[in-house]
A and B are shown apart, each in its own frame.
Chain A
Amino acid sequence: MKLNMKKILIVEDELAYLKLLQDQLVIHGYQVVDAKNGKTGLVVAKRENPDLIVLDIRLPIMDGMTMLRLLRKEPSLKRTKVIILTNLEPDSKIIDQVVNGQPSYYFIKSDVHLNELLEKIKDLLVD
């Protein structure tokens, strides 16, 4: 494993999404860790200190927005880049939190193309 390899945490309960994204990111040379709910996601984030988190909103046990809020309270994770990847239409509460929880980005899963997403991740992780 290269030292400069960027680490990405995917928090996703839908296995089909998780597996594909994981595969794609690995192919593109990223190190990938995953969690299937917000609570685990928070634990893994603290432990792994990823460069980027891809976060779903609708998750069991702890939803993505709660995880984001708690994440921003951790000094080490305050500035971690977060891509929210969900099928939920954002309401005003979510938008507020995305704006306040920067740097974070919002994508609708069914609207974004896989390539676009990979491009975005690449852009965000350029030093």
Chain B
Amino acid sequence: MSKLTAYLRQIKGNFTTPRRQHLELPVYEQVNRQLFETAQVGILILDSAKGEIIDVNPFFVKMMGYSRTELLGKKIWQLEIFQNTLNSKYSFIKLRNQAFTWFRDLFAKTKDGHQMDVEFVSNVYLIDDHRVIQCNFRDITECKKIEESLRARTDQLEELIESQEMTKQAMLNVMEDLEEAKAVIEFEKVKDEAMLESIGEGLVAVDNKANVIVMNKVAEDILGYKFSELAGKKLTDLILEDEMGHLINLEHRPTTIALKTGKSTKVVFYYVRKDKTRFPIAVTATPIRLKNKVIGLIEIVRDITEELAIDKAKSEFVSLASHQLRTPLGIVKWYLEALEGDEYYIKSPNIFKKFVNEIHKNNERVLSLVRDLLSVSRIEQGKIKNAPTAVDIRHMLGDIVEQMKIEAGEKKISLRLKICNPKIPVINIDELRLHEVIENIICNAIGYSKDEGQVNILVDVKQDILIINVKDHGIGISTEDQQKIFTKFFRSEKAIGHNPSGTGLGLYIARSYIRGWGGDITVKSIEDIGSTFTITLPISKK
């Protein structure tokens, strides 16, 4: 008898009284049977050929609510228990063909319609050449629920983690953006500050109540206050005066006008510093508008002392130049008119000659003045043409002295040239202009000398420097005027008294030329004793 036959007989015959009959089986089978009967897992034994249930354990009966009788002999796919995987013959065949099957997603329905999740395990094995399939079913509904909730929880956690990650990333992005924005603002701030500071002019910003809100360094320097001293205070508290020293009323101040009218306002007043000193200031107040409303002003302040000085110097130059030109031209005019209108002068040849001479002299004066003015203009525009040639200084001085002796002779002045150093070199210099300069200095020396005086010209070389001294015993120059004689149009009163026809440009031109050659001209003088002009020129080595 095969083991299976015996087994089946056992089941069929003895199910109601199991324990006793079991003892007749070999021990191994008994143990197995015990496990089968008491297992907390539902077990079906299938005939592998037909798929029929040939055994079912008590737990399965309890689990599904079907009686043993209802189950035995049924084909597994015909049971209404299994909802998905085991509900067809095909799925059974698949089961049969595999030695071991395990899945957890089997849905089962109990007899009373209760749904449950089931873990399924099948083993195919031989009993006496018969293939049987043992199927284990375990209710994993609770397990699944826990798993489900665990998964849900895990998902939640994952979501949470993910969202936290996202938040973190977002935060980082925001931080990054903030950093960028901060950098932009920092840059703008630094740029604004640099702009504020780089403007050569003073800048003050005020709000619509005229309170100071921004101020650059130049404004601090001009106004004589630190920003910290003025911040939040009214700009209109600073003192502005007119040229006569009268305080400018609040309603006439540029700040007030610009705030009131909303128009850019430009004025020139005098600003009074903390120490009560004052200077001319140009103020331009420009309204700052936001949505067509004036919310404050930008005021540009400029110390125009220098501009005014330049303006004054310019108009003085024009006035002096025209005065200087008018004098000889007026003389020429009057003498010509006198010659035209009065026979008295025509009839006397001596007077006629004297008049023509006067006209000639003054015409020369005009020409020389125009020449000087042109030189000044060239000097100031930096347009002097330098045409250096090799000049024999000794020779040149000799010529000039010879030439000037006639003029000196008229005043009985002795003119002497003394060469102190036999090695006077040939120097490379603009001959015409050097001639003009030296002639001018000697001419002055003669002009401002007393009659029967002496003019000495000394030439020397010391350490590659050519020195020319022109010494007179004339009227001299006061210490105060010595500082001024090299400036344009300056003439000392003494000089005007002695010779009204000088242009006041000769020494200015001389110094400009000499300094242009890298040398200098200086003066030492005592009033009523005499003056010594010293010209120094570098000797360029070849």
Contact = CB atoms under 8 A, between A and B. Distances in A.
B319 A109 contact: no
7 contacts: A13-B497, A16-B358, A17-B331, A20-B358, A88-B319, A109-B326, A114-B334
Nearest to B497: A60
Contacts of A23: 338
A89 to B, nearest CB: 6
A110 B496 CA distance: 19
Nearest to A60: B497
A27 B345 CA distance: 11
Contacts of B361: 16
B337 A60 contact: no
A115 B334 CA distance: 9
A89 B323 CA distance: 8
Contacts of B327: 14, 87, 109-110
Interface of A: 13-17, 20-21, 23-24, 27, 36-37, 58-61, 87-89, 108-110, 113-115
Contacts of B496: 13, 58-60
B322 interface: yes
B15 interface: no
A36 B361 CA distance: 20
A16 B362 contact: yes
The 8 closest A-B pairs by CB, nearest first: A60-B497, A110-B330, A87-B326, A110-B326, A109-B330, A114-B337, A16-B331, A60-B493
Nearest to B342: A27
Report whether over half of chain B's contact residues are helix, strand or loop; otherwise say mixed.
Answer: helix
B334 A61 contact: no
Contacts, number: 67
B344 interface: yes
Contacts of A89: 319, 322-323
Contacts of A110: 326-327, 329-330, 333
A24 B340 CA distance: 13
Contacts of B329: 110
A87 B324 CA distance: 8
B500 A14 contact: yes
Contacts of A60: 493-494, 496-497, 500
B523 to A, nearest CB: 20
Contacts of B323: 58, 87-89
Residue with the greatest number of chain A CB neighbours at <10 A, chosen from B319, B334, B344, B362: B334
B341 A115 contact: yes
Interface in B477-518: 493-494, 496-497, 500-501
Nearest to B330: A110
A37 B496 CA distance: 10
Contacts of B338: 20, 23-24, 114
A99 B334 CA distance: 27
Given A89-B322, A110-B326, A115-B341, A20 B497 contact: no
A121 to B, nearest CB: 14
A110 B326 CA distance: 6
Nearest to A118: B341
Report whether over half of chain A's contact residues are helix, strand or loop; otherwise say mixed.
Answer: loop
A13 B496 CA distance: 8
Nearest to A62: B493
Nearest to A91: B319
A17 B362 CA distance: 11
Contacts of A88: 319, 323
B334 A20 contact: yes
Given A87-B330, A110-B326, 18 more contacts: A13-B497, A14-B327, A14-B331, A14-B501, A16-B361, A20-B334, A27-B342, A36-B497, A59-B496, A60-B496, A61-B493, A61-B497, A87-B326, A87-B327, A89-B323, A109-B326, A109-B327, A113-B337
Nearest to A13: B500
A59 B496 CA distance: 8
Interface in B242-299: none
B301 to A, nearest CB: 28
B334 A17 contact: yes
A108 to B, nearest CB: 7
B319 A27 contact: no
Contacts of B125: none
B448 to A, nearest CB: 13
B533 interface: no
Contacts of A108: 326
Contacts of B500: 13-15, 60
B497 A37 contact: yes
Contacts of B227: none
A37 B493 CA distance: 10
A16 B335 contact: yes
Contact of B330 (A13, A15, A17, A115): A17
A89 B341 CA distance: 28
Nearest to B496: A60
A52 B185 CA distance: 80
Contacts of B358: 16, 20
A15 B494 CA distance: 16
Nearest to A86: B323
Contacts of A58: 323, 496
Nearest to A59: B496
Interface in B150-178: none
